[in-house]
Structure 1
């Protein structure tokens, strides 16, 4: 463990806070088109899904009819392939949709934590603690960036990285699935690793152990693996996606499939695991659209909030000459930033809704007006309180 103490003066913090205004302005400006675009995306996707629900044609996957070319078709069947996917080094073979080699290396990992305290006069004192632990990681950890390098060195390369193989030709009945549809097939099964099938060049450095009902390979460069892992050891397991029952909604083009493009420019190209009705597939897509809409709303509103916070940061830093005053001002600016972001987000979304769906947009504008009213009321109350306090001070 290593502890580093750094201090920043009040003048240094002031300079940083004023520089942060530029970043705050950029965050606020970028959040507006993001929020506006998101509402348009959500509306177009919803309308596109509704159009798709009305246009879909149920067909049999075993018989492809020319009259369905260009139509949005729905069918079920078993996604299967004749290809055998293989990992030659570990001697694993599988006839199915996907084969994954999951590799992890035992490495040093740096954990960083910081505590910052304000000092009288406006400066800050920061204690940064660096802890080092050994753990299995799926990707290389660059130890050259560690704060404390001595005794915490990781290998520069990974002998057996993770890798994924996917069948190039997958059919459901007579239909050939596109790669975008094949990538939606899920449901991993764990596969065993058998020592006698592993390449002879690496076999002597590998030990196979049973874990969670399947066998896993442990590799140690230059020596036989034992029960105590060392830095640089690699753990390898395999999972695979078998031929599976699926439900598909896409546009027929001969025996191939491509995304169905609606008049709202929504691309519909869906696959669900199992025998799922088209109505349920559309409902699932609508739920995902709503979820993504709220995620992007939260992202845009959060960007606007932090933008306003950064623009008002100099006020709290100026008041930090007395830490208590700085905390009070910081809480006040945080509340004001929240109200401004709430109002700004609602106004942006409501304008977008007026553009895309007018009735709902008017209601949102009313909510934005309420947020601005509370902000104005709070500002007036604060001014009145300050004036009353000044009035209570009697001249000498």
Structure 2
């Protein structure tokens, strides 16, 4: 009886989540996206020109050289990474009985399960500071920069200083992990952990295109766009196409995901 109540409750929760995503998706399609497209039509293409005070408060498309003025710093680990924005992810060693016995399992593994790296979750984001040409990037602009790579350029001395070591693992797409040195000097144990960082790939000296709202010498975030900082010097049309409002594919995915949630919740309730 208790299990049935839990399943019903789970069904209700899933349906509520589905309703939330459905409303959010419809708002994005019929309100946010048209609003963003309308705003971008009036965007001023600055290119590599100097800052013009007349553009204050307007959406501008800027081309220029990216400069990382302050790298992102993980203040919990004490590790600095040469990227303007990073997201730390953690993976923990857990025991699982749902594994293929190759080689044959030991008695301990049969009883308690096999040690393996469990699912990954992102636990914290860190940011630095940067510029594009003459423009300084605001915090809200930086918070919206897309993370498009897994960081792998660790400095051995920096890791040594915090007691960590680089341990690549090609069994996972992230591959570039770091973990406490002490863990690598013994056998694996339950609740061992390791980290990797998703990062923005922009480097000092790289030519980029940015879409933002000009506020003096600062670029602020534009609500609703998909990519505010892009590689290379792009023309107006390409910049808006690449970094503008979400595509039709994104809209379709959001609607399908919402329907699946509603359907899954309904199935749970009907079965009970």
1:63 aligns with 2:50: yes
Aligned counterpart for 2:4 among listed residues 16, 26, 43: 16
1:254 aligns with 2:216: yes
Equivalence for 1:108: 94
Contact conserved, 1:260 with 1:269, CA < 8 A, in 2?
A: no
Return the structure number with greater helix share: 1
Higher relative contact order (CA 8 A, sep 6+): 2
2:132 is matched with 172
Q: TM-score, normalised by structure 2?
A: 0.64
Query: Residue 198 of structure 1 aligns to a residue in which SS?
Result: helix
From the superposition, tell whether residues 82 and 27 of structure 1 become closer, same or farther in structure 2 (CA, over 3 Å).
closer
Map 1:257-336; keep pairs closer than 5 Å.
Answer: 257-260=219-222, 270-284=228-242, 288-310=246-268, 312-313=270-271
Preserved contact between residue 12 and residue 265 of structure 2 (Cα < 8 Å): yes
Residues 101 and 305 (structure 1 numbering): CA distance in 2 closer, same or farther, change over 3 Å?
Answer: closer
Q: 1:80 pairs with 60, 67, 71, which one?
A: 67
Is 1:191 aligned to 2:177, yes or no? no
Native 8 Å contact 1:82 1:95 kept in 2? no
Cross-structure match for 2:116: 135
Question: Are the aligned partners of 2:73 and 2:80 in contact in 1 as well (CA < 8 Å)?
Answer: yes
CA gap 1:275/1:111 in 2 versus in 1, 3 angstroms: farther
CA drift of 1:91 comes to 8.8
Q: How far apart, CA to CA, are the structure 1 residues paired with 2:263 and 2:57?
A: 46
In 2, Cα distance between equivalents of 1:70 and 1:196:
42
Give the superposition deviation at 1:90: 8.7
Pair 1:268–1:48, CA change in 2 (3 A): farther
Equivalent pair of 1:185/1:272 in contact (CA under 8 Å): no
Unaligned runs of 5+ residues in structure 1 are 1-11, 114-128, 141-160, 315-396
- Kindly name which structure, 1 or 2, has the bigger radius of gyration based on alpha carbons: 1
Write the distance in 2 (CA, Å) between the matches of 1:177 and 1:286: 18
Normalization by structure 1: what TM-score? 0.48
Q: Which has the higher strand share?
A: 2
Alpha-carbon RMSD across the aligned residues, in angstroms, is 4.9
1:343-362 equivalence runs, <5 A? none
1:74 Cα offset (Å):
0.4
